[in-house]
Structure 1
């Protein structure tokens, strides 16, 4: 699929982090016997699974109840945890102070590592500092590409949302769009705000921002429908998550609008809608990879002292555009819930 990145960016590909993990595994795996061997770092690996001492990782997100996007991140994290002999403890809360409390709970449980999203970085800053003071390594993922270094996190895995938004805006120009409404399902969430800001920056047409309550899908549907009924000049609806795109399809029909739809993020339903032409394209940030790399990175750091990007550069997992030209390549993975 098409890769989109800022020219001369020093941020590195996820391949670098994955290669480090693969090097440890290949060094320690038996060539067909399925037996146990020690890698060069002295870590025992049996049948492709680490037998290093059991460690506990807390994965803490800002997921709202019912948002299926996070299921894919959890699958990635669970896959890495199974490989690395990690006990994974997952928790989430869209409320910033509550998310900070979850970080404190992880500190109190004396976990070996924390992977956290920085959707509302100011709210969790103090809790992250306490984790670092307690000697617990912390990595960021999904949200907070502009804040992770400021807060002293070890690594970051995710998409640069500004770059993604700018790519989306250029795509709108390419298809000749004139007026889009960018639907934000959580006001003040830095990644979502950055996406729409990026769209507005590069899109030569008019960009409206429409805030909806992402935890109430019937309300999302009615709000988008009302917007389209009020303004017939809107020719593209921009949604920031696959479930919201599927709801927007219904809104467009209910409003009798001729607007087309494009979205950020994927799931199985969105892939089907791209095939049928109900969604024109999606920006894929590869959430499975974000979850996987976050857990694997903490294991690598604990067992071998590795960290990606020299501690100064984020590992970018997106953006990539999925449309009719390449959706079949993604569909087989989406069917398994990993894209």
Structure 2
């Protein structure tokens, strides 16, 4: 991590008490936000029903992520963004592409459309540096979310909302130590994604046992399953499989079941199916970064900046939305929200 990231001691003290700035502003009166499907094309949301609530002029915000097809994590991010858009009289235009070059083109499209603000993920920050500079030159405020806690300042973004992935990985490594784990694999579903790499690097920093990275193709679940299955058959001493996303965790659970492995599964991120699996004991625990909050705060912050000149963190600190652990002891507290698709 570079010097712009929060200090190790400060971040570690916030592991289990993430910053939830502006939580009082989160209105869960979701007005009917319409959206259209269409692959990688821009998709509009946050329209109509709540337009009069903010009492401010209509503005347009582009939310541009590195979402891969079938990754349900981003449905939660988008729901948060749509809730803020409905409250703030914002026309939300959502687009996504896991290819960094294509994501850069989507940002350029938003610049060409003269949007009022851009919220973007920085999974591959160097590929987006030039086009973000163009947005800044065009006087379009840009905020980051989810990926890029070590790079948002370097790229000139106004604010950042997410978790420190290295700190989250370190917390998971400590958790494995407390559980007596000895041999783990960390499954990375997208090579080149800095946030995913930071998670596994963080696990390696604090875990006292052995950990090996295992690369899979996260867009091909049958391939993910066969790769994890082969690894478990090859090494019966593996006692924990660490995954970096809920769909990967559920697939890993199938591999464990079919091989008869005694390995436990720990993961980052939640969805409805995963909370059920934690309740049943299929998944041991998850690290929650509150993606709904990331989407909500990204859009709401751009509205605040345009209408009142506000920005969080003083331009120096990110707003951390995680990490926090969800396991059998507290999963029921979030299960209802997961059923609604907001956790």
Same fold, judged at TM 0.5 (above): yes
Q: CA deviation at 1:17?
A: 3.2
1:81-160 aligned at under 5 Å gives the runs 81-160=85-164
Please state whether the residue corresponding to 2:21 is helix, strand or coil: helix
Q: 1:302 aligns with which of 283, 300, 306?
A: 306
1:7 has 2:9 as partner: yes
1:194 has 2:198 as partner: yes
1:327 has 2:331 as partner: yes
Q: Is the 8 A contact 1:17 1:297 kept in 2?
A: no
1:314 has 2:280 as partner: no
TM-score when normalising by structure 1: 0.89
Q: Determine the structure 2 residue equivalent to 1:55.
A: 59
Q: Is the 8 A contact 1:17 1:308 kept in 2?
A: no
Structure 1 residues 86-108: Cα deviation after superposition (integer angstroms, max 9, x where no partner): 00000001111110000000000
Provide the rounded CA distance (Å) in 1 between the counterparts of 2:339 and 2:52: 25
1:165 has 2:163 as partner: no
Q: 2:222 aligns with which of 203, 218, 240?
A: 218
Structure 1 residues 55-102: Cα deviation after superposition (integer angstroms, max 9, x where no partner): 000000000011111000000000000000000000001111110000
Q: Determine the structure 1 residue equivalent to 2:267.
A: 263
TM-score when normalising by structure 2: 0.88
Provide the rounded CA distance (Å) in 2 between the counterparts of 1:182 and 1:100: 29
Q: Is the 8 A contact 2:51 2:86 kept in 1?
A: no
Q: Which 4+ runs in 1 deviate beyond 6 A?
A: none
Aligned pair count reads: 311
Provide the rounded CA distance (Å) in 2 between the counterparts of 1:235 and 1:115: 39
Provide the rounded CA distance (Å) in 2 between the counterparts of 1:168 and 1:314: 21
Q: Is the 8 A contact 2:20 2:321 kept in 1?
A: no
**CA RMSD of the aligned region, Å?**
1.7
Which ranges in structure 1 are unaligned for 5 or more consecutive residues?
23-45
Q: Determine the structure 1 residue equivalent to 2:84.
A: 80
Structure 1 residues 126-174: Cα deviation after superposition (integer angstroms, max 9, x where no partner): 0100000000000000000000000110000000000000000000000
Q: Determine the structure 1 residue equivalent to 2:21.
A: 16
Which ranges in structure 2 are unaligned for 5 or more consecutive residues?
1-6, 27-49
Q: 2:181 aligns with which of 177, 183, 188?
A: 177
The structure with more radius of gyration: 1
Q: CA deviation at 1:13?
A: 5.6
Q: CA deviation at 1:7?
A: 3.4
Q: Is the 8 A contact 2:61 2:93 kept in 1?
A: yes
